[in-house]
Structure 1
Amino acid sequence: MATIKDVAKLAGVSTTTVSHVLNNTRFVAKETQERVYAAVQSLNYAPSAVARSLKVNQTRTLGLLVTSSSNPFFAEVVQGVEAECFKEGYSLLLCTIEGDRQKLRHYLTTLVAKRIDGLLIMCTEYDPLLFSLLESYESLPQVIMDWGPSNEFMDKIQDNSAQGGYLATQYLIDQGHTDIGCVTGPMEKLPSQQRFAGFQSAMDKAKLPINPNWVIAGDFEAISGEQAFNIIWSSAKRPTAMFVGNDVMAMGMICAAYKQGVRVPETLSVIGYDDIPMAEYFIPPLTSISQPKRDLGKLAVTTIVDKIQCKRKKGKTLLLEPSLSIRYSVSRRK
């Protein structure tokens, strides 16, 4: 295997000159550059990525820590991250924790040991251990997606969930619905709190009462959407429309309605949140609040690259605005 010394000897220059040509760290005459490149090609020389990373203190590698991968929402975000990493010339190391704290410690230690240039975190819930460990690596550029603690060094990219909850509920109101319920996500999670706050804001603005029997906390899984429907439909008074905190729960609710012979949207209108790919192909196609998932992944990468290149220490918070994807799971109230 050829070495940098072999290239220097063939090109008739010093190893330092070869290094400056390959790393573009100093001006070198064009004729000299051509001799170096010709020697590289002739010897099929491949610079050591490890040696280069030690020299320039960069590995051109990012880590992505995902706390949960079961929701289809995250797959699109990861695709956006990977595509933008490739575009920016970075490799990506993906680690999923799935609530396992032993894996969390292991993966975080491994990523740091591999000398990643920056760390992206796709966070679905607050874990004191996770954020305590992240704070111990304060010098490592970090960008957290979804939500996390407020601190001075970490960048955060968040969905404007309050606005999304408002848009969903206002659309139901615009379609003539006044008896509207809500299935939230786990209320200890900030996105769930914000989406419910948006629901409350739209109802208050329209001067519509909120029936507490129609507000149920789910867990972002399909089974909780099914359970919520069963609870609500056993009530003497029933809503005509439901804002459900994510698409997976909304699909669980629609399936439960189908089993009991309740027609969606003729009898019950349902709107979800996230606009996951299968929402368009569900029966009926699900009206949903769309988050720009690939844009979220792209923005996370461009933000951390900016942080790395500019050596920016102070963190910042960026908001992504949701939009409404209208399909067929909501009907106009006559």
Structure 2
Amino acid sequence: MATIRDVARLANVSPTTVSATLTGSAPVSEELKKRVWEAVEKAKYRPDPFARNLRKGISTTIGFVAPDIAAPWVSHLAKAVQRSIAERGYNMLLASNEDDPDRELEDIALMINHRVAGLIIAPTSLGDGYAEKFASAISCPAVLVDRIVAPDRFDVVADDNELGGTLIAEYLVRLGHSRAAMLVGRPGISASFERFDAVEAAFAKAGRPLDERFICHSVHTQDLAYSEVQRLMTQPERPTVIICISNPQVQGTMAGLKNMGLRVPDDVSVISFDGFNPTEGWYPSITCLVQDTDTLSNRAVDRLLARIDDKSELDREVMRIRPRLRIGDSCAPPTQ
């Protein structure tokens, strides 16, 4: 059976570096991490977390609390987190609360009662006094993903929404769009207002400020997007592009436009922050941002393991993951 020393020899690093990479207990450069993980696979090394954590008196299970496992971005993220956890010798316990903050608190309590080593949570972020209730419910190491809540209490790993909004706006400006509609999600969710703020700022910087008539707030379901799109496209002056921040919005937008007999991108362009299924395989293919879920999950797991290893002196940090813009067939220069 391979040992840490075998991995260190293959990676040409010290055993200490291997240990730091596997546990996240100390900073390791991306280059060294890559070498270590390649050596881990080559040597078929598998740590014995049960023995290690038994000595420490902690569990080998990490809980992942998700808002809605049926949502494509959540299922993609859950798979990536599970893979990252397994690579480090842990097991994952999954709970999905369907965006219900009360169920979320129940799930957190249940996992803590099961003595999980730590939690990775994509918070619902909903309801009055949410942040305090949420923070008070957590009594074990925890890292948040995608949505920011109480950043002074928790580490967070999330998309760089400012960069994402800038990429989308600059691309649309290059195509010549000046009448952009934007479907904004639920109030109180950090990803929603960050994405809107970024798009608004980038269009303003380009001298093409968003028109208030084309900004649709609290559009967080497919049905709401369907209705809003039909309202937008029956105005005397119509937008030339519709910006969505989620897949349900894309689904509702495309269905609403089809119902009106409008073609994408001939009659109106569509672009999205969310690049997961079902936008993949659609015609026209949707121009969208793509999350780097592997990097996001690895960062979250590394940070959580560092917290589990009692590195409480680490400063709380909001870590941003850069998205990329994938060009599809749903955007074209405006014809109006």
Fold agreement, TM-score > 0.5? yes
1:172 alignment partner, SS class: helix
* Residue aligning to 1:37: none
Cα distance in 2 for partners of 1:307, 1:146 equals: 19
Q: Which stretch of structure 1 is more off in the superposition, 145-154 or 207-216?
A: 145-154
Specify the alignment match of 1:16 in structure 2. none
Query: How far apart, CA to CA, are the structure 1 residues paired with 2:105 and 2:123?
Result: 15
Counterpart residue number, 1:117: 117
**Superposition CA RMSD, Å:** 2.3
Shift of 1:109: 2.4
Report how far residue 54 of structure 1 moved: 5.5
Displacement, 1:78? 0.2
Per the alignment, in what secondary structure is the counterpart of residue 278 of structure 1? coil
- Matched with 1:81 is 81
* Deviation, structure 1 residue 324: 0.5
**In 1, Cα distance between equivalents of 2:141 and 2:273:** 31
1:202 matched to which residue of 2? Answer: 202
Q: How far 1:310 sits from its partner (Å)? A: 4.8
Tell me how far apart the structure 2 counterparts of residues 279 and 126 of structure 1 sit (CA, whole Å).
27
Classify the secondary structure of the residue corresponding to 2:273. Answer: strand
| Contact persistence 2:62–2:93 (CA under 8 A) | yes
Answer with 1 or 2: which has the greater Rg: 1
Deviation at 1:277, TM superposition (A): 2.9
CA contact (8 A) 1:280 1:327 kept: no
Deviation at 1:280, TM superposition (A): 2.3
**CA distance in 2 between partners of 1:258 and 1:247 (Å):** 16
**Paired residues of 2:105 and 2:137 also in contact (CA < 8 A):** no
CA 264–234 in structure 1, closer or farther in 2 if over 3 Å, else same: same
Residues in 2 aligned to 1:215 and 1:208: alpha-carbon distance in whole angstroms = 14
Report what 1:20 is aligned to. Answer: none
Q: Report what 2:317 is aligned to.
A: 316
In 2, are the aligned partners of 1:180 and 1:210 still within 8 Å (CA)? yes
Say if 1:73 and 1:293, in contact at 8 Å, map to a contact too. Answer: no
* Equivalent residue, structure 2, for 1:182: 182
Task: State whether structure 2 residue 248 is matched by structure 1 residue 248.
Answer: yes
For residues 153 and 124 of structure 1, the distance between their equivalents in structure 2, rounded to whole angstroms, comes to 17
Distance in 1 (CA, whole Å) between partners of 2:332 and 2:101 is 45
How far 1:149 moved relative to its partner?
2.8
Tell me the equivalent position of 1:306: 306
Aligned to 2:271: 271
Give the match for residue 143 of structure 1.
Answer: 143
Q: Report the secondary structure of 2:278's partner residue.
A: helix
2:27 alignment counterpart: none
Identical residues among aligned pairs (%)? 22
Q: 1:85 to 1:205 in 2, by over 3 A?
A: same
Helix, strand or coil for the counterpart of 1:157?
strand
Distance change >3 Å, CA 229–CA 185, structure 1 → 2: same
Q: CA deviation at 1:194?
A: 1.2
- Return the alpha-carbon distance in structure 2 between the equivalents of residues 52 and 276 of structure 1: 37
Change (3 A) 1:104 1:258: closer
Change (3 A) 1:266 1:306: same
- The offset of 1:150, in angstroms, is 2.8
Taking the aligned partners of 1:188 and 1:260, their CA distance within structure 2 comes to: 32
Structure 1 residue 319 displacement after superposition: 0.7
- Structure 2 gaps of 5+ residues are 1-47
Q: Compute the displacement of 1:219 (Å).
A: 3.1
* Secondary structure class of the residue paired with 1:327: coil
| Pair 105,122 (structure 1): closer, same or farther in 2 beyond 3 Å | closer
Q: Is the 8 A contact 1:218 1:228 kept in 2?
A: no
Structure 1, unaligned runs of 5 or more = 1-46
Size of the alignment, in residue pairs? Answer: 285
The change in CA–CA distance for 1:130 and 1:94 in structure 2 (over 3 A counts) is farther
Asked if 1 retains the 8 angstrom alpha-carbon contact of 2:287 and 2:326, the reply is yes
TM-superposition CA deviations, 1:144-174 (whole Å, max 9, x none): 1122333544111121212212211221111
Map of 2:215 onto structure 1: 215
Letter in 1 for 2:298: K
- The TM-score with structure 2 as length reference comes to 0.78
Q: Which amino acid aligns with 2:211?
A: N
Q: Distance in 1 between matches of 2:230 and 2:183?
A: 12
1:87 Cα deviation (Å)? 0.3
